[in-house]
């Protein structure tokens, strides 16, 4: 098995054991299967473009063609102040992505290329956090964040997200640095360049993919996270988008309007799709390295 | 100098041994400094709360006001707390329902997309999209589409003659669990697909070729070769899926809010309510400790699995 992992993955080519069955059938089957996963999402985009009154009625041929941005307009201009929530979500997700990438970059550098006493223990402690579900430390964390005045704070939420993205990030970054050719590491050391200069000028281009993977994981996690934001934010104006939508769902600001709720869900969805489709090779790379190493 | 070193990698250990003690000390300090921000984050926001949680669980800590030590009182109370026990049973039931379908669907999808035939990359991306979009946004969509007379779910299912157009999905425990399970299987099987596919692509093709020469059918190659060689990836994907189900919260909070009654309250929601609605932080912490132990046990079994594979 170890050999299998070290060898470059052998692709199951067209001439392989999947050679049976023609290509047109494969494509047709693939389109049908993909439709099961994508059409519901596209259907919701379509539904969100119907007038709010149509969303509250069964889909019908009469209202089918009426498309409008009305739901988005009323959501973004209404009392809900969703623009502020979207901004909050963006601030938290970007801050968490940058912090995670930066801290994991330094730690990966330290763990991979420096030998120091307690290194193994320190790495073990970081990975231990991987086994602590954040859902299970929410209550003590709430009291602690209260003590540090980090409740109702976007910074506090970003620090929380950073922590729980660090184990994966440190792991990915350490592997990135371990793949830097040994000769390059020694050359940099002999040249007498400072640690940070070496990191920025010699290693940065080599570990950029790892940084992208780490930041992407942290961004997507933070953009879609719900329970932590629900627990640590009580001030409406600081709500992130997923939490603000629960107010729209229950109609805190008046009658329940499912058109608005759908528009909000689509606004939450779009950045994920765009970021993922643009950067998916980094995402898949992180998943695969994690999967192979276990 | 640089070129010389590049040309002679075996010289590296000698170089290290010759390094003066002062520089070694400096390297030690630099290493520690580099990893210290990560240790600080993990220590302050993960490890400390874990220990603090165990401490609180031994007290009658209210959200506001003084507290007293009550020993294992909270844990004894848990044994008699019907709400907590019910949430554990419900979470186990939910996990039992979704785990196998997620695995089977994910496995079938992995078999489909693992070949590098034209289109397979695009299919992977599309099948993985529900996972990327996240269960929160999708749960809000489900709320709209599960409405009795206006939702798309009833519209389509009524046309197919499966349910009546007025079926109220979130008002009946069984229906709510069914709807949420289908949503989660749809959401999560893409992740299992990705993890298993990565494992499958790591298996050398020659193994299959020799099996084919021996006259093995596709099914027997899959059963006798792929499944055993895939043990690591299978363990990983099952653990991620089982732990995920154990920690389920979002979809239940958004779609049923634990209802009808408290019949769809998973463990995490039970903790959430105990801490923030009933403000019994001590009891909530005891529940959390139980949850950490259960999840830790699952993870331990995973590592056991992986170690066994190495031997």
A106 contacts on B by Cβ (under 8 Å): 34-35, 37-38
Give the nearest partner residue to A133 out of B15, B150, B295, using CB atoms: B295
One digit per residue, the tens of pLDDT, for chain B of length 311 reads 333 333 334 434 444 444 556 666 666 788 899 999 999 999 999 999 999 999 999 998 887 778 889 989 999 999 998 899 999 999 999 999 999 999 999 999 999 999 888 899 999 999 999 999 999 999 999 999 998 888 889 888 988 888 888 888 988 999 999 999 999 999 999 999 999 999 998 888 888 888 888 888 888 888 888 988 898 888 889 989 999 999 999 999 999 999 899 999 999 999 999 999 998 999 999 999 999 998 888 877 766 765 555 43
Per the model's pLDDT, the better-predicted residue between A143 and A252 turns out to be: A143
The overall longest dimension of chain B from CA atoms, in Å, is 82
Residue B61, in any domain of the structure = no
**Pair B181, B89 in one domain:** yes
Is the ipTM higher than 0.85? The answer is yes
The answer to whether the CB atoms of A117 and B44 lie below 8 A apart is no
What is the total count of domains within chain B? 2
**Pair B175, B298 in one domain:** yes
The answer to whether the CB atoms of B47 and A128 lie below 8 A apart is yes
Is B106:B196 a contact under the CB 8 Å cutoff? Answer: yes
Q: What is the pLDDT of residue B189?
A: 97
Q: What is the pLDDT of residue B304?
A: 76
- Residue B56: closest CA among chain A residues belongs to which residue? A140
Helix axes B267-276, B82-113, angle to 10 degrees: 140
The answer to whether the CB atoms of A114 and B291 lie below 8 A apart is no
Helical segments of chain B, H only: 2-7, 12-18, 21-42, 48-56, 73-80, 82-113, 120-133, 135-145, 152-159, 173-201, 205-213, 218-221, 227-229, 231-246, 250-255, 267-276, 281-310
Residue B70, in any domain of the structure = no
Give A205 to chain B, closest Cα distance, Å: 18
Residue B66, in any domain of the structure = no
Residue B147, in any domain of the structure = yes
User: Tokens standing for A213?
Assistant: 């993977």
Give B172 to chain A, closest Cα distance, Å: 19
The answer to whether the CB atoms of A58 and B144 lie below 8 A apart is no
A8 contacts on B by Cβ (under 8 Å): none
Is A214:A101 a contact under the CB 8 Å cutoff? Answer: yes
Q: What is the pLDDT of residue A13?
A: 42
**Pair B91, B229 in one domain:** yes
Give the nearest partner residue to A114 out of B30, B138, B233, using CB atoms: B30
- Residue A114: closest CA among chain B residues belongs to which residue? B31
The answer to whether the CB atoms of B115 and A33 lie below 8 A apart is no
B248 contacts on A by Cβ (under 8 Å): none
Residue B157, in any domain of the structure = yes
Give the nearest partner residue to A107 out of B35, B288, B299, using CB atoms: B35
Residue B188, in any domain of the structure = yes
Is B135:B184 a contact under the CB 8 Å cutoff? Answer: yes
Give the nearest partner residue to A107 out of B37, B123, B201, using CB atoms: B37
Per the model's pLDDT, the better-predicted residue between A239 and B163 turns out to be: A239
Q: What is the pLDDT of residue B232?
A: 83
Asked whether the predicted pLDDT for residue A231 surpasses 90, the reply is yes
A104 contacts on B by Cβ (under 8 Å): 38
Give B69 to chain A, closest Cα distance, Å: 16
**Pair B181, B271 in one domain:** yes
B199 contacts on A by Cβ (under 8 Å): 291-292
Q: For chain A, give every domain's residue range.
A: 23-68, 84-293
**Pair B13, B155 in one domain:** no
Whether chain A has a CB inside 8 Å of the CB on B26: the answer is no
A9 contacts on B by Cβ (under 8 Å): 201-202
- Residue B211: closest CA among chain A residues belongs to which residue? A17
Q: What is the pLDDT of residue A4?
A: 38
Touching A: B residues 53-82, CB under 8 Å: 53, 56
B218 contacts on A by Cβ (under 8 Å): 17, 20
The answer to whether the CB atoms of B43 and A13 lie below 8 A apart is no
Asked whether the predicted pLDDT for residue A244 surpasses 60, the reply is yes
- Residue A289: closest CA among chain B residues belongs to which residue? B198
> Which helix H or strand E contains A157, and what residues bound it?
helix A154-178
Q: What is the pLDDT of residue B26?
A: 64
- Residue B125: closest CA among chain A residues belongs to which residue? A277
Q: Residue B73 in 3-state DSSP?
A: helix
The answer to whether the CB atoms of B132 and A136 lie below 8 A apart is no
User: Tokens standing for A141?
Assistant: 């964390």
Name the CATH superfamily for A84-293: MetI-like (1.10.3720.10)
Q: Residue A4 in 3-state DSSP?
A: helix
- Please report the number of interchain residue pairs, chain A to chain B, with beta-carbon separation below 8 angstroms: 344
**Pair B220, B89 in one domain:** yes
What is the DSSP track for B187-225? HHHHHHHHHHHHHHHTS-HHHHHHHHHTT--HHHHIIII
A10 contacts on B by Cβ (under 8 Å): 201, 203-206
Interface test mutation site (partner B, options A80, A137, A195, max chain B beta carbons within 10 A):
A137
Of the pLDDT bands very low, low, confident and very high (cuts 50, 70, 90), residue A15 is very low
User: Tokens standing for A114?
Assistant: 């420096």
Give the nearest partner residue to A11 out of B147, B154, B201, using CB atoms: B201
Give the nearest partner residue to B143 out of A111, A123, A261, using CB atoms: A261
Whether chain A has a CB inside 8 Å of the CB on B225: the answer is no
Q: What is the pLDDT of residue A3?
A: 35
Residue B222, in any domain of the structure = yes
Let me know how long chain A is: 294
User: What CATH number corresponds to the domain at position B118?
Assistant: 1.10.3720.10
Q: What is the pLDDT of residue B172?
A: 92
Q: What is the pLDDT of residue B6?
A: 37
Q: What is the pLDDT of residue A80?
A: 67
Asked whether the predicted pLDDT for residue A254 surpasses 70, the reply is no
Q: What is the pLDDT of residue A2?
A: 36
The range of the structural domain enclosing residue B15 comes to: 2-45
Work out the mean pLDDT of chain A and round it to a whole number.
86
**Pair B11, B160 in one domain:** no
The answer to whether the CB atoms of A273 and B9 lie below 8 A apart is no
Residue B51, in any domain of the structure = no
Q: What is the pLDDT of residue B179?
A: 96
Whether chain A has a CB inside 8 Å of the CB on B220: the answer is no
The answer to whether the CB atoms of A191 and B15 lie below 8 A apart is no
Q: What is the pLDDT of residue B307?
A: 55
B17 contacts on A by Cβ (under 8 Å): none
**Pair B188, B101 in one domain:** yes
Whether chain A has a CB inside 8 Å of the CB on B202: the answer is yes
**Pair B32, B87 in one domain:** no
Asked whether the predicted pLDDT for residue A61 surpasses 80, the reply is no
């Amino acid at each position: 098995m170890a050999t299998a992992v070290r060898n470059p993955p052998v692709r199951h080519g067209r001439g392989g054991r999947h050679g049976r069955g023609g290509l047109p059938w494969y494509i047709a089957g693939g389109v049908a299967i993909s439709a099961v996963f994508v059409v519901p999402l596209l259907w919701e985009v379509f539904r969100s473009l119907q007038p709010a009154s149509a969303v509250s009625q069964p889909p019908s041929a009469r209202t089918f063609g009426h498309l409008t941005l009305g739901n988005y307009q009323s959501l973004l201009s209404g009392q809900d102040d969703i623009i502020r929530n979207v901004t909050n979500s963006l601030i938290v997700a970007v801050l968490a992505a940058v912090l995670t990438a930066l801290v994991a970059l330094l730690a990966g550098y330290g763990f991979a290329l420096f030998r120091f006493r307690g290194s193994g223990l320190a790495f073990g402690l970081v990975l231990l956090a991987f086994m602590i579900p954040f859902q299970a430390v929410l209550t003590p964390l709430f009291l602690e964040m209260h003590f540090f005045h980090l409740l109702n704070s976007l910074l506090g939420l970003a620090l929380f997200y950073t922590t729980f993205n660090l184990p994966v990030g440190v792991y990915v970054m350490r592997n990135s640095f371990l793949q830097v050719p040994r000769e390059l590491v020694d050359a940099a050391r002999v040249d007498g360049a400072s640690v940070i200069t070496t990191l920025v000028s010699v290693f940065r281009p080599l570990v950029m993919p790892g940084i992208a993977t780490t930041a992407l994981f942290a961004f997507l996690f933070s953009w879609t996270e719900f329970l932590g934001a629900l627990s640590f934010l009580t001030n409406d104006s600081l709500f992130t988008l997923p939490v603000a939508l629960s107010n729209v769902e229950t109609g805190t600001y008046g009658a329940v309007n499912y058109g608005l709720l759908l528009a909000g869900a689509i606004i939450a969805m779009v950045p994920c799709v765009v970021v993922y489709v643009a950067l998916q090779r980094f995402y898949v790379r992180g998943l695969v390295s994690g999967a192979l190493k276990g | 100098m640089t070129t010389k070193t590049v040309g002679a990698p075996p010289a590296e250990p000698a170089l290290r041994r010759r390094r003066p003690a002062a520089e070694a000390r400096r390297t030690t300090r630099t290493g520690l400094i580099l990893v210290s921000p990560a240790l600080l984050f993990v220590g302050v926001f993960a490890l400390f709360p874990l220990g603090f949680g165990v401490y609180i669980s031994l007290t009658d800590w209210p959200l506001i006001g003084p507290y007293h030590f009550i020993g294992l009182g909270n844990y004894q109370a848990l044994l008699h707390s019907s709400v907590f026990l019910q949430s554990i049973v419900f979470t186990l039931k939910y996990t039992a329902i979704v785990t196998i379908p997620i695995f089977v669907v994910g496995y079938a999808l992995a078999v489909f997309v693992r070949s590098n035939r034209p289109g397979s990359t695009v299919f992977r991306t599309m099948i993985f999209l529900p996972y990327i979009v996240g269960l929160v946004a999708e749960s809000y969509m489900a709320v709209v589409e599960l409405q009795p007379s206006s939702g798309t779910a009833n519209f389509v299912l009524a046309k197919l003659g499966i349910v009546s157009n007025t079926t109220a999905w979130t008002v009946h425990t069984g229906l709510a669990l069914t709807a949420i399970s289908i949503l989660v299987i749809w959401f999560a099987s893409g992740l299992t697909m990705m993890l298993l596919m990565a494992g499958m692509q790591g298996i050398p093709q020659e193994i299959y070729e020799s099996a084919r020469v021996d006259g093995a059918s596709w099914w027997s190659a899959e059963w006798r070769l792929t499944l055993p060689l895939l043990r690591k990836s299978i363990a990983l994907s099952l653990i991620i899926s089982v732990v995920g189900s154990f920690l389920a919260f979002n979809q239940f909070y958004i779609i049923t809010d634990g209802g009808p009654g408290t019949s769809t309250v998973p463990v995490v929601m039970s903790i959430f309510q105990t801490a923030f609605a009933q403000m019994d932080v001590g009891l909530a912490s005891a529940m959390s400790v139980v949850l950490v132990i259960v999840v830790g046990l699952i993870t331990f079994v995973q590592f056991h699995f992986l170690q066994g594979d190495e031997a």
